[in-house]
Amino acid sequence: MVDTPEVIDDFIFKRPVVAIASKFEIVDVAAVKHNTELVEMLGLNSNFTFSRKVLRATIKLPHVGNTDCYVVHFKSKRAMIESDESTTSSAKTEPPSSEKNIIDTLKANVAGSWGSTIQRGSEATLLMIEMIARREATQQPMVLMGDFNNDLADGVLSHLLTNTLRFAPVFDVKTYLAKYCLNDAWQLFKTLKMSQFTAHNTQQNAGNADVQQSNAPAAPLLNRSPTHYYGTSSTVLDYILLSCEFDPSYDDSFYEVSDYHTCDRHLINPEYERDDLTTDHAVVSITLTLRS
């Protein structure tokens, strides 16, 4: 860990922190520091900080060596501003009307939600800049994981998966860009499974030219499981992103994502004796297999 939660009473804590555990040697641990000049350029408050300190652990992994593993818990969607009756009521002594309360709450929710979005997007942006700089300096593989509190496809965090550049020479983009980009582990797993399915079918068909298309096995149905439930809605908020060393489409990669699993039993079928102290998110895990 690179931070300590705040103790409320005895074993009760608030302001949770991130952590990492590894069966492989952790050779270095640090809290990521953002670029203060960039904060100013982005028009953010000079006192800007990550809502939770970002942990970077350099872990010595087999075959690829030192790998920078980042653990995050980006700002939640909970509104940063709350309606305060003491500041929104009129100068008169009588309490505000029900309509006035609703209006004040609505305004606080709109402004507060946008404030949280700005914080979350800024955290992701500033972290990505530091990851790119670190990659340039060390050439070490990267893994980014944790609770993103947002859908990756949302524009707020979509820049974490940037893989194209406008106005840059095509050759240079193809040659250098992949080294500094991240890939969603789920997409890498899905692509691998589809390519294995296609290769298997091609091999079978080559051995039997009379195989009818209608008899061909259906493609595997791959749907990513949600990692968070709120009321009747569900979404994916937790991710593992990987650098090109774990992407088989990259010529010099070492590993492929051979399995992707979402542990959600404690959410969809909870048992108090077993799950009373579990997380309110599903746990994402992947298996990395050395490429043959």
Burial status of residue 269 (CB atoms within 10 A of its CB: 0-12, 13-18, 19 or more): exposed
C-alpha angle 223/226/232, rounded to 5°?
Answer: 120
Q: How many CB atoms lie within 10 A of CB 42?
A: 14
Does pTM top 0.85 for this prediction? Answer: yes
pLDDT, greater one: 221 or 31? 31
Q: Nearest to residue 146, comparing CAs of 236, 58, 238?
A: 238
Give the strand pairing for 26-31 and 12-14. Answer: unpaired
The Cα 94–Cα 228 span in angstroms is 42
- Is 187:209 a contact under the CB 8 Å cutoff? no
pLDDT in tens, 175-232: 899 999 999 999 999 999 999 888 877 777 766 655 555 555 667 779 999 999 998 8
**b (16+ CB within 10 A) / e for 76-100:** eeebbeebeeeeeeeeeeeeeeeee
Q: With residue 188 as reference, give the H or E element that holds it.
A: helix 185-207
55, two tokens: 């942990």
pLDDT in tens, 120-135: 999 999 999 999 999 9
pLDDT in tens, 232-278: 899 999 999 999 999 999 989 999 999 999 999 999 999 999 998 88
pLDDT in tens, 51-91: 999 999 999 999 999 999 999 999 998 888 776 644 444 45
